[in-house]
Amino acid sequence: MCGRYVIAGTTELSERFQLRSLPEGWLPTWNAAPSQRLPTVVEEEGGDRVGRLMQWGLMPRWRRDGQPGVAPINARAETLLEKPMFKGLVARRRCLVPISGFYEWQATGGRKQPFYVTAKDGGIWALAGLYDEREGPDGEPEVSYAVVTTAANPLLRPLHDRMPVILPREAEDEWLSRDVTDPLQVERLLQAYPEERIDLWPVDPAVGNVRNNGPELIAPAAAQRGLLEG
C-alpha cells in the first residue's frame, strides 16, 4: 500500500529528475499524507520535465463539485484498464511521484508497528502515478493524483500484501514520455521493486499522527528491530 511517505528537499529533486522548474512554496516533509499538495514530475509538450504540486487523492475531471465520492490515493495496477476512474489516464496522464521512502505498518500483538521503507543506496525513488485536472470552483485548475500499487515483494509481504510501484530508473523515461500511449506498453512497467534494493526498519509510532513532521520520524527504533522477523 502507500498511505504516508517522506520526500527530500528541492535541490535533491531538481538534480535527480533534471527539472526545468520546481513547485513554488513547497517544503520537505517527513510525513506526507493524503489530501496534501505534494510534488510530482510531469513531462510537458516540448519534452521538458517540470515539478507540479498536486493533491494526493485523485479527483476525476468528470466529478461535479459537491458530488459524493471518494478520492482514491492508490490505484491497483492489475485493474487500471478496467476502472473508469483510471483507464482514461493511463495513456496520457502519467506522472512520477518522488519519495525518499514510505511508511508501512505491521500488526503485532494487538498494536501496529510502523516501519520506514527506503532505498538501500539512499537515493530518491520515483513512484508510478496517475493524475487528472479539472476546473475548481474559483476557475483555477485543481490537479490531483493517485499512486499505482502492485502485489508486495517477499520482503514487504509481512507488512502488507500491496506496495507502491517503484519504477527502476531505466523505466522512468518511458513512464513519463508523452509519446508512449499504448496502455499495454505502460502496463508492463508495473512490477514489484526488487527486494534486494530495499532497506527498512521500525520507527516510532509518532508517525501515525500527521501533525508530527520531522527527521526524527525516520530514526530507527532500535528496541523494535526484531519485529519483522518475529
- Cα separation of 107 and 52, whole Å? 35
Question: Which residues partner with 16 through β-bridges?
Answer: none
- Cα separation of 18 and 51, whole Å? 10
Annotated catalytic residue 2: yes
Provide the grid cell at 26. 513547497
Contact 209, 4 (CB under 8 A): no
Q: State how far the alpha carbon of 43 is from the alpha carbons of 25, 178, 211, in Å.
A: 20, 7, 32
Which ranges in the chain belong to alpha helices (H)?
Answer: 10-17, 84-87, 169-176, 183-187
Q: State how far the alpha carbon of 128 is from the alpha carbons of 3, 180, 185, 194, in Å.
A: 14, 14, 14, 15
Amino acid of residue 134: R
Q: Which of 12, 43, 45, 104 is catalytic?
A: 104
The CA angle 167-32-61, to the nearest 5 degrees, is 75
- Cα separation of 72 and 61, whole Å? 14
- Cα separation of 22 and 39, whole Å? 8
Q: Which residues are catalytic?
A: 2, 104
